[in-house]
Structures are given as C-alpha cells and as structure tokens.
Amino acid sequence: MEPIVAPVTALVPQPVGILRLSGDNLWPKISPLFPGHPCPSPRKATLLSPTLNGLPLDTVLLLFFPSPHSLTGEDVIEIHCHGNPQNIRFLLSLIELQGIRPAKPGEFSLRSYKNGKLSLLKAESLHRMISAPTYSEFLSAHTSFSQPNRHPLYALKEQFVDLLSSFYAFLDYPEDLDSDRDSHPHHILLSQIHSLQTFSRHQISLFKKNQRAFSSFSILLAGPPNSGKSSLFNRILQSDRALVSPFPGTTRDLLEGRLSLPFGDLLILDSAGFRSSDDIIEGMGIAKARKTISQVDLLLWVNSPESPTTLPFHTKTKTLTIWNKADLSPPPPSSSPDFIVSARTRKGLRSLLSTLTSLTKNFYSNQQSTDPLLDSERQAKALSSFLKSLNLAEQALNSGTFDLALSSLEHGRHLLEDGIGLISTEEIYDRVFSRFCLGK
Amino acid sequence: MTLLKTHKNHWDVIVVGGGHAGIEAALASARLGVKTLLLTLHLDLIGQMSCNPSVGGIGKGHIVREIDAMGGAMGLLADQSALQLRILNTRKGAAVQAIRAQCDRHRYRTLARQLLDGHNSLFLRQGEVISLERQGDFLSALHLSDGSRLTFSTLVLTSGTFLNGHLHIGLSSTSGGRGGERASLSLSEFLREKCGLSLGRLKTGTPPRLKGRTIDFSRMEPQQGDTPTPFFSQLAPLPPSLFFDGPPLPCHLTHTTEQTRDVIQKNLDRSPLYSGKIHGIGPRYCPSIEDKVVKFPDHLTHHVFIEPEGLGIDEYYPNGISTSLPVDVQELILSSIPGLEKSMILRPGYAVEYDFVFPDQLRHTLSVKSLPNLFLAGQINGTTGYEEAAGQGLVAGINAARFSQGQPPWTPDRQSSYIGVMVDDLVTHSIDEPYRMFTSRAENRLYIRNDNAVDRLSPQASALGLLSEPQRSYMNSRFDFQNALRNTLHSSRRGGKSLYHLLRSPELSLRQLLQEERIDISSVPSLWIDSLEQEIKYEGYVRISLERWNRMENLPIPPSLFDQPIPGLSNEIRTRLRKSRPATLHEALSLRGMTPGAIDLLRIFLTKEPASPS
C-alpha cells in the first residue's frame, strides 16, 4: 500500500523522538535522505545521518523491518532521532517531500489488521492497553492482548460452540442420544443457554459500568469568562513537567490535559476552548454544559474578582469552588470558596494539587481488578445482539420448536462472529464428536 | 460416428456399478430416454445393502424423499421392502423430521432388479472392467475381462468400496470390495495414472451378523415401527400397507457392558485399526466399537440395535458394534452383551479400506473437471451411506444422459435440496473423512423439509423429463389440491383475519381448522395437508433465514476482485481464489485451505468497501 509516516512520540522536548514509516518498497523511497547509503540490514540498528544538500541534519538510528515480518506486514522503518520537536517536524517534512503521506489516526493498526498481523480483538485490546488510565486496567487489556483465549468473548465462544454442538448432536442423532424415544434433553440445552445468557449479561453490565465518557478520573474547569481557567489548567499540568502531555481536545470541543499519577491518570478538561459568546459558561450552551458536568468526576468552579458568579444550576457532580486571582483581590466575605489561589503567583496551588491528587487516589483505590473485559463499544454491541438471539432460542425451545431455536442460534453465531471473527464449522463438528459418542 | 452409435456395443451412457448410486444413475439416464447400460460385477447383487438393512434417518431420509420427488427408485424400493418405518425427531419441529425404514435386504435386491428390468432403454450386463480407452480429454471405450470392448458417449463410475478394496478381519487381510466379493484393482490405477486424478484412502466397517434363534430378545427393549405407517414415496398412490401381513417387525435395543470394554482393551493389539495396519480414515460418526472404547473410556455402555435382515430369514444385524477385531474376539464381545451371550456368528464383522477420488476434482454435475464425459457418484467420491450414494447417482445419471445428448447440465441447488447441499459440499469443500449428510449442514434447513420435497423438486424433474405420466399427474393433482386450498384459506376470514394468516400461529392446526370450516379432506393423502400446513407455518421463518443467509454468506464476489491484490491474503489463498473464482462468500468459505482469518478479511472487504465499478 502507499507509504505513510507518523511520529510515534509526542512533539515535546525529550531525548529521543521516533518516526515510523510503513508501505511497500519503502527504502528506495526514503533513500534520497541518506545519499549513497545501501539498504540497512533487516532488524539491525544502523547509525545514519539524513542530509540535505550535503548538509548532515541529525544523527539517527534506523531500524528496517522488511515485509512480511513487521508490525504492519509491509516494509516498516523506524527512525530514532533526537527528540527536539522542531527537528522531528523538519525530518517529517523531508520524508513527506519524498511522497510519503502522513498516516491517519489508527492507520498502522488498520494495516496490521488487514494484513493478518493483528486480529480485530487484539487490535481493540491494544487500543485499550495504550489508553488505560491505571496499571490494573493496562494489565487487564494486556491479558486479552497476549492471551486471546482469556478474552471474555473467547470464553463465550467456547461455551457457545459447546451449545451448538449439543444441538447438532441431538438433531442428527436422535436414536443415539434419546433413551426415551424422541424426547430430547430440553433441560440440558436450556441450562447451557441460560449459562450463556448469564455470562453475556454479566459482561455487558461490566462494560456498561466501566463505560464512561472519560476513561480516567476527570476534572472539568468551568466558570465565568476571564476567571483564569486556562492559566489554572496550564499550572496544574505543568506541576510535573516530565509527565505532562497536553493534546488538543478530540470531539468534545474541550482542551484535555492528562496528568499521569502513580496510581492512575488524571484528566483535566478546560471548557475555555470556547470564546465565542457571552454565555455564562463560555460558549457552551447550558444544556451542553449540564451534560459535560454530569460526565466528569469533579467540577472545579473558578471565580475571580472581575465578575463572580455561582453555578446557575444544580449538579450531582462533586464540586469544588476556587477563588482565582487572589493576588488582585481576596474573596468577598459572603462567599466561602474551597480554595483561594493565584495562577499567576502560584499562591494556594500546592494545597489544591494535593487535594486533587488524593481525590484521584481515592477514585482508583477500588478499581484494581485485572480481569480481562470487553474492549470496545463494538464488542459490546455484538454481544448484545448475540444475547438477543439467545433469548429467541430460549423462547423457541420453551415452546417446543427445537428447529426454530437452532435457527436462532445459528444466526447468533454470525452475530458473535461480527465480534470475534469466524467460527469454523469444522470446529463445531470436532466438538460434536469429541463430546458425544455418536454413531452405530 | 453415426454408424458407431447405432452399433450394438455402443452406449450413450454406461454406468459401472450396481449399488445404490448405480441404480439411480442408470434409471435416471434411462428415464430420459437415453440408451443406457448398467455394468456390474454380479447381477444378483444389484441393490445390495452391504451395511445395515436400513434406509433413511435424519438428513438421509430427506435425501430419499428428494430422490423420490425426482422420480427415482430408492423411496419406492424402501417402502415396498420395509419391515417397519418410523418418523424420527417427532418432537423437534417439522423441519428436522425424517423417516427411517428397516428393510428386507433380499426383497430390496429383487425389487431393484425388477425395476431396472422394466425399462426399455436400460440394459444390464455382468462383467469386470479391466481397462479404459482415452482419446484426448474424453474416455471412449472400456474393456471387460471377458474380452468385450464397449464404446460409450459418457461413463458413470459408481464403484463403491471396490476401488482397490482391502478387507480386514483381525490382522489378516484380503483384497475385496465387500464380504465375499472381489475388488476392482486396475480401475484405481487407471484413474490415478491415466486420468491424473488425486486419490485418497478411507475405511469403513461392519459388525458380525448373527443367527436369530441364538439371540435372547426377551432381555432387550423392543422398538416398534410407527402406526399408521409413514412411507417415503409421494409420487405414487401410497402403498396401502407393508408388503406382508401382520404387525411391523420390531428392532431391539441392548447395550455393551464394562466386560465388553475390558475385552476390547485387552485385545487392541490384535485390531488392524490400532496396530497400524489400516491407514484409511474412518468416519467419526460411524465409529467401530474399538474406536468408541478408546475414545470414550468413561462410557460404560454403548447402544446396540438388533435389526432384522429380512422376513423369514434368521439373520440379524447388531448395529453399533462394527469391528475389525479377529473372530475369536468378536465372539468374546458378543458374549458380554445382554441377550447376545449365546449368539452365533453367521458372518464375521470386517473393516474395508478403499480408494476414493477427492471430489473437488468434480463439477457440480459430478463430471470430472478434466474429463467431461466421465461422471463419478457414490462412495468413490468419499461419501458413506446408501442415500448419499443414490442422491449422487441421480445427479450423475441425469447429467451423463444430458451430456450424451448435447444438452446443458442440470445442477441441484444448495438452497432448495439436501442433494444440492451434498453436491456443493463435496465439490467445493472436498473431504478428509467419509462424508455423511447431516441436517446441520443445511443452512436453509427450515425450507428444505421432509414434507415438501415434491414442491421443491418435482416441477424441475418434470421439466427435465424424468417423471413418468402417472408421476406427473399425481404431482399435478397434489398441486391443484393445494392451490385450491391455499386460495380458500386466503379468502375465508375469521375475526377480520384470513384463515391463512391465523394458521401462522403455532396453536392452530390446519386439520382442526378444516374440520371447523366443514371442509372434507378424508380422501386426501395426509402429506398433502401436512406439507401445506408446514409451508404456512414456516413461511415467515424461512424468509428471515434466507435474508440472513443473503446478508451474511451469499455476498456476491465481484470477479474483478481476483485480479486485484486483496490486502492481507496470503499468496497461497490468493492463488486458490483466483483458480476457483468463487461467486459468493459462501463458495469462498468452502474452499479447501481457506483459513478463518482469510474469510474474515474477505467478509470485511466485501461488506465494508463498495465494489469498484468495473
């Protein structure tokens, strides 16, 4: 496929930055950056200098993984350069000038999947692994990633293949399995269906419980315009430089910053991304503000001497009030803010940070399970529709129509396959003959 | 050429083999008016039931009804030689019910011979084929061991287990196709060497046959046939009763014991299966008793069904203990089974190994891809069972006859018949163990039912010219009756809803409704009523399952797909796809060597990315 490139480390000053490239016949395309140099040996670190008009630009380590033994199955090249953001940007632009386009989000994984290097389930476990806010969740995702048979959908599939094989055995061997002529062990089939239903419901409810708008402990900064929310946002994030990685808000029109604390990540959202209206919570309509506030774990309501206001509606979300710009003016005696700070002079920040830290710690203290879970909304959807076909099969069996029950289950097989990939018919027959002694 | 064709020794179609595939092939060809010869090693053994004397069962019984709806022989022969018939799966829904008949083995053979004798364009000949002549891509003549040379336009091979057959009893083995019959040695060599076909090896087996007077039936549970008796055949006025007076003959059920298990475990080293003498692959679903004991050591007992072999013949078939152990061990096994302690062996059990042709070398017409006038049917294609063989014989016979007349082929459809499922499975999947029909193999199971074979297939058979005049008029009267009744049900209303609509509810039966509406059906065959009722009741489910099928598996693959690289498919699979160019995802699914991952990729490719216009 056409070659792509992306930085895989953040554009912040750090010792090493890594660029990754993937595509067919990759080396000839970037070799103009390394004039006169032969194609590096596969899987060996090679020290090189990209040059422009004879001028060496940086000293980099280059790793070449020829197809098909690579992350994506195509040729992959990794360039480890010095991690100065300007340097990385310039190298990127040079590479793009060779006709290699920037990768779209998730494009490397997509290629791995399409080239059979990564199953859909694994790709989703990988995604959950990378974005896990705590180590226990990282471990949970890694368990699914490294041992696919421990993924809940695999456990489900195993039980389901058992169920289908029971149906097939009872269907095609009435004489072998029915001691009492033509009665079939209804209760065996029903109990297998019930156990699958229970398992599915449990997994779906676990997923729903864990499913939140923000996967980490999340804090929203809100308040009247010009109360200094953004300065506060920056101050909180910059409190620990090495661990900060600010990135633009995704779809939520919010600025997001992540603070990685030892027991779990803290996500800080700044509603000051909007500056277009005089609305009481800048730019966000009341409805949207209500919604965002209900999705976060903590609301920091920021006031300042210019135009102090109170939150115009009631919320169930835990709220802390902050008097910012305390260096300009102290809070009026009528108000009793939880924190009095100055983002400019850093007054009161230490006390605010230590409270945020302990709230984060409390939040994660009861989430220590490393059991594998469903990884994505897609998996949960597949499981829900699978559950519906189980329910139909249960109904059909209860009203005595075995053939219709089986038909529902076979449909369920396809729905489950949407979640986990193909279940081979051979696998089902193998199960039929290994579980039942059939035939005369 | 014209001179040759009128020659006495030239045949439009020659069928080699007089088993169940050969009978249907020869009859289908003859019914199409084509000059046909059936060539067999032994004229007295046409229609031999070499395994147990029973026809039908789940999946298989469906095939028998389909053969009958196509004007074939098996349903009639089974009905008219039946000792008892019964319906299986009566409580699992109409879609999965089927008939099983216990037959008089000797009468079945006699009736088969009489049926073949009755056709003007069909001739019989005893003889052993020793060689074949090939001219380019066509076979043209065969030589018999008696020195005759016969020429033909098309050839149908239905040689069963006789291809390089080897019989095993204990550690001794002899060349042979069935107990007491010799094998056909040179044919397999010809197919491999001269025709370039790839052959594999399979095995199957039988239990010892027992003398009835030495069996103690009082210690077994009798299994009666159904009354009123159900029959397979639907294209003839139903036989009023079984061929003999008195009640249907029962089968009997007994079981193996722990002692049986011990005997077998102690003597496994004398089994050709477990001492490495037999290399052929046996069917998992029809295991020998030594297989059952080895694979399921925790099962203390296994069913044994004692089946009568004929009326007035004192021979019984203990179904469930097929074995290739030596005769002295067979006797020990029998003495460990309640009721068989004192039983005497009439013929010992044996295993047979034989060659088969990997069926993915065939077209859906059952002709060999590389040799268009050679057709293969039955066990030679790796199947087991009389019914599976007969179903293929029908397809091969029809197409052999049509090929000899320069007519386009006819192929059964997977969506509308079990025969279609079988042929499609065989030629697209190929096999690695003997193939048996299961109802679980049929995706469109709710439609291809036991009750509607005539609706599904008889119009096609009639158009092909396979039905006799009485069969056609019987089909037409059934359709006329059902159409009239369907109209009545649509137009009569009760509580604002049509009777047709009301019948969809599982609680209401058609018979009950007709009684309430005072419509007299006493003179109508009950199956006419049943099939219409099931048609109405299953209609909605059939439609849903067909929609699912179309959405999930019947995705068309644009031919342009094979000419572009499909991201992620290995070269091997890409080559396979290019070679066989499957038309739908389902066909691709069934290709040998397709991995689940590859299918996933294809499915995602076909559903997510719009096909490029080309």
Q: Is the pLDDT of residue B550 over 70?
A: yes
The domain made up of B553-607 is a member of CATH 1.10.150.570: yes
A423 at interface of B, judged by CB pairs closer than 8 A: yes
Among A111-125, B283-297, B495-509, B555-569, which range has the highest average pLDDT?
B495-509
Mean pLDDT of B466-495: 94
The domain made up of A4-103 is a member of CATH 3.40.50.2000: no
Single out the residue of B607, B99, B489, B199 nearest to residue A417, CA to CA.
B607
Q: Is the dihedral of CA B411, B417, B419, B420 positive or negative?
A: positive
- Lowest-confidence segment of A134-143, B81-90, B148-157 by average pLDDT: A134-143
**Under CATH, to which class is B468-543 assigned?**
mainly alpha
Among A200-214, B508-522, B539-553, which range has the highest average pLDDT?
B508-522
Instruction: Give the residue extent of every domain in chain B.
Output: 10-161+355-456, 209-233+247-350, 468-543, 553-607
pLDDT band at B6 (very low <50, low <70, confident <90, very high): low
- In terms of pLDDT, which residue wins out, A184 or A326? A326
Q: Which residues of A touch B223 (CB under 8 A)?
A: 181
What was the pLDDT predicted at A388? Answer: 96
Interface with A, mutate which of B440, B538, B595, B606 (most A CBs under 10 A): B440
Chain mean pLDDT for chain B = 89
Contacts 24+ apart (CB under 8 A), B143-149: B144/B39, B148/B9, B149/B9
* Amino acid present at A218: S
Q: What's the CATH code, domain A151-210+375-420?
A: 1.20.120.430
Bridge-based pairing of strands B493-494 and B172-175 is: unpaired
DSSP letter at B427?
I
What was the pLDDT predicted at B593? Answer: 64
Of the candidates A120, A174, A424, which has its C-beta nearest B88's C-beta?
A174
A407 at interface of B, judged by CB pairs closer than 8 A: yes
**Under CATH, to which class is B209-233+247-350 assigned?**
mainly beta
What was the pLDDT predicted at B1? Answer: 41
The domain made up of A217-365 is a member of CATH 3.40.50.170: no
Of the candidates A172, A411, A424, which has its C-beta nearest B440's C-beta?
A172
Interface pTM, i.e. ipTM: 0.87
Mean pLDDT of B526-544: 92
The answer to whether the peptide bond before residue A68 is cis (omega within 30 degrees of 0) is: yes
Nearest CA-CA distance, residue A122 and chain B, Å: 13
Q: Which residues of A touch B506 (CB under 8 A)?
A: 399, 401
Q: Is the pLDDT of residue B542 over 70?
A: yes
- Lowest-confidence segment of B29-43, B232-246, B474-488 by average pLDDT: B232-246
Q: Which residues of A touch B451 (CB under 8 A)?
A: none
Mean pLDDT of A128-146: 87
Q: Using the beta-carbon criterion (under 8 Å), do A401 and B59 form an inter-chain contact? A: no
Interface with A, mutate which of B91, B301, B304, B550 (most A CBs under 10 A): B91
Of the candidates B90, B223, B541, which has its C-beta nearest A407's C-beta?
B541
Q: What is the 3-state secondary structure (H, E, C) of B506-535?
A: CCCCHHHHHHHCCCCCCCCCHHHHHHHHHH
Nearest CA-CA distance, residue A89 and chain B, Å: 31
DSSP sequence for B543-577: HHHHHHHHHHT-PBPPGGGGGS--TT--HHHHHHH
Percent of chain A with pLDDT over 70: 89
Q: Using the beta-carbon criterion (under 8 Å), do A172 and B287 form an inter-chain contact? A: no
Mean pLDDT of B136-143: 95
Q: Which residues of A touch B424 (CB under 8 A)?
A: none
The rounded distance, in Å, linking the Cα atoms of A234 and A222 is: 14
The rounded distance, in Å, linking the Cα atoms of B367 and B398 is: 11
Of the candidates A116, A183, A424, which has its C-beta nearest B601's C-beta?
A116
Q: Is the pLDDT of residue B43 over 50?
A: yes
Q: Is the dihedral of CA A243, A245, A246, A251 positive or negative?
A: negative
What was the pLDDT predicted at B561? Answer: 73
| Tokens (6 digits) for B340 | 């068989």
Interface with B, mutate which of A110, A165, A172, A183 (most B CBs under 10 A): A172
* B567-592 CB burial, b ≥16 within 10 A, e <16: bbbeeebeebbeebebeebbbbbbbe
pLDDT band at A92 (very low <50, low <70, confident <90, very high): very high
Residue of chain B whose alpha carbon sits nearest to that of A186? B92
The rounded distance, in Å, linking the Cα atoms of B517 and B511 is: 10
DSSP letter at B239?
P
Q: Which residues of A touch B597 (CB under 8 A)?
A: 116, 119, 421-422
Q: Is the pLDDT of residue A246 over 60?
A: no
Q: Is the pLDDT of residue A30 over 90?
A: yes
pLDDT band at A253 (very low <50, low <70, confident <90, very high): low
Residue of chain A whose alpha carbon sits nearest to that of B549? A411
Q: Using the beta-carbon criterion (under 8 Å), do A400 and B91 form an inter-chain contact? A: yes
Name the 3-class secondary structure at B352. Answer: strand
Name the 3-class secondary structure at B202. Answer: strand
What was the pLDDT predicted at A242? Answer: 32
Q: Is the pLDDT of residue A214 over 90?
A: no
Q: How many CB atoms lie within 10 A of CB B245?
A: 6
pLDDT digits (tens, 9 = 90+) for A280-300: 444 555 667 778 888 889 999
Q: Using the beta-carbon criterion (under 8 Å), do A183 and B91 form an inter-chain contact? A: yes
Of the candidates B92, B286, B445, which has its C-beta nearest A184's C-beta?
B92
What was the pLDDT predicted at A182? Answer: 40
Q: Using the beta-carbon criterion (under 8 Å), do B548 and A403 form an inter-chain contact? A: no
The rounded distance, in Å, linking the Cα atoms of A428 and A404 is: 19
Q: Is the pLDDT of residue A24 over 60?
A: yes
Orientation angle between helical segments B74-81 and B105-117, nearest 10 degrees? 140
Q: Which residues of B touch A1 (CB under 8 A)?
A: 567
Nearest CA-CA distance, residue B553 and chain A, Å: 9
Name the 3-class secondary structure at A204. Answer: helix
The rounded distance, in Å, linking the Cα atoms of A62 and A83 is: 14
DSSP letter at B192?
I
Nearest CA-CA distance, residue B485 and chain A, Å: 26
What was the pLDDT predicted at A202? Answer: 93
Single out the residue of B161, B441, B436 nearest to residue B280, CA to CA.
B161
pTM of the model: 0.83
Of the candidates A176, A414, A434, which has its C-beta nearest B548's C-beta?
A414
Q: Which residues of A touch B96 (CB under 8 A)?
A: 171, 402-403, 406
pLDDT band at B416 (very low <50, low <70, confident <90, very high): very high
- Lowest-confidence segment of A272-276, B35-39, B396-400 by average pLDDT: A272-276
Q: Using the beta-carbon criterion (under 8 Å), do A172 and B299 form an inter-chain contact? A: no
Q: What's the CATH code, domain B10-161+355-456?
A: 3.50.50.60
**Chains A & B: contacts with CB separation below 8 Å:** 117
Domains B10-161+355-456 and B468-543 share a fold: no
- In terms of pLDDT, which residue wins out, B186 or A353? A353
Instruction: Give the residue extent of every domain in chain A.
Output: 4-103, 151-210+375-420, 217-365
Q: Is the pLDDT of residue A239 over 70?
A: no
Of the candidates B58, B302, B570, which has its C-beta nearest A437's C-beta?
B302
Of the candidates B541, B570, B600, which has its C-beta nearest A404's C-beta?
B541
What was the pLDDT predicted at B184? Answer: 67
- In terms of pLDDT, which residue wins out, A337 or A291? A337
- Lowest-confidence segment of A120-124, B272-276, B283-287, B608-612 by average pLDDT: B608-612
